[in-house]
Amino acid sequence: MEFEKYIDSDLLARFEFHSYGHALEILHDAFPQEWQELQECLRKLNLTVADIKKAGGNESPIPKKFDDVLYPYGWREIRISGDLLVKKYPRQVAQRRGRFAAEPYETELIEGYIDGHNIDFLKNRVAFDLEWNSKDQTFDRDLLAMRTYFDCGLIDVGVIVTRSAELNDIFKKENIIAKYGASTTWMGKLTYRLDSRRNGGCPILAIGIRKECVEEYGKPESDN
């Protein structure tokens, strides 16, 4: 795939990209404003060794870096809940099989049929999640949420940002590799699930944070 057609060139050196279900083309062609805002967020991402040494999860300073850029643009964390109304239509006695009454004879409401699906950021019909250092099963939750939003007609594409495998070189040098174990969220754990189609029909763009995003390790060669 010619990523240069869809992604600003300066970002290709700092992030890795994997597009499933034509996600990148959809973002670029159908949601140019949202895609530009996401690229701007990536462009402003500047990590330090101090950042990656701090506590993980929601206590990490890294999610806040995304909040600070995306919230002013109108991106918001969203949780959905939905009930299912089931209508049962009888076959008319005098009609052939496959022909049913115009009105249901019984209805049943299943409350909370869809519930508890959180998305870190949502704008228009684009969903965005960040997974820096959670248990890798978190990807299953994220993909189920995006799949549910997509199946309900709420989004057209999802974006997930996580760690690139090459950050392990930094973790080893800084003696913090134990903090970022093999069973945490990183690109290999995400692409494995996407290759297995756990996103259903929802197009997903997976983005990996490379070592060039870490200030002490990503300086241009001319500065070294």
Do residues 132 and 164 touch, judged by C-beta distance below 8 A? no
pLDDT of residue 56: 62
Mean per-residue pLDDT for 152-163?
97
Task: Output the pTM of the full model.
Answer: 0.90
Q: Percent of the chain scored above 90 by pLDDT? A: 79
63: pLDDT confidence band, cut at 50, 70 and 90?
Answer: very high
- pLDDT of 100 over the 90 cut: no
The alpha-carbon radius of gyration of the chain (Å, integer) is 21
Report the alpha-carbon angle 140-177-188, nearest 5.
35
Distance CA 65, CA 75 (A): 13
Using H for helix, E for strand and C for coil, what is the string for 10-56? HHHCCEEEEEECCHHHHHHHHCHHHHHHHHHHHHHCCECHHHHHCCC
3-80+116-219 fold: Restriction Endonuclease (3.40.91)
58: pLDDT confidence band, cut at 50, 70 and 90?
Answer: low
Supply the mean pLDDT for the chain.
92
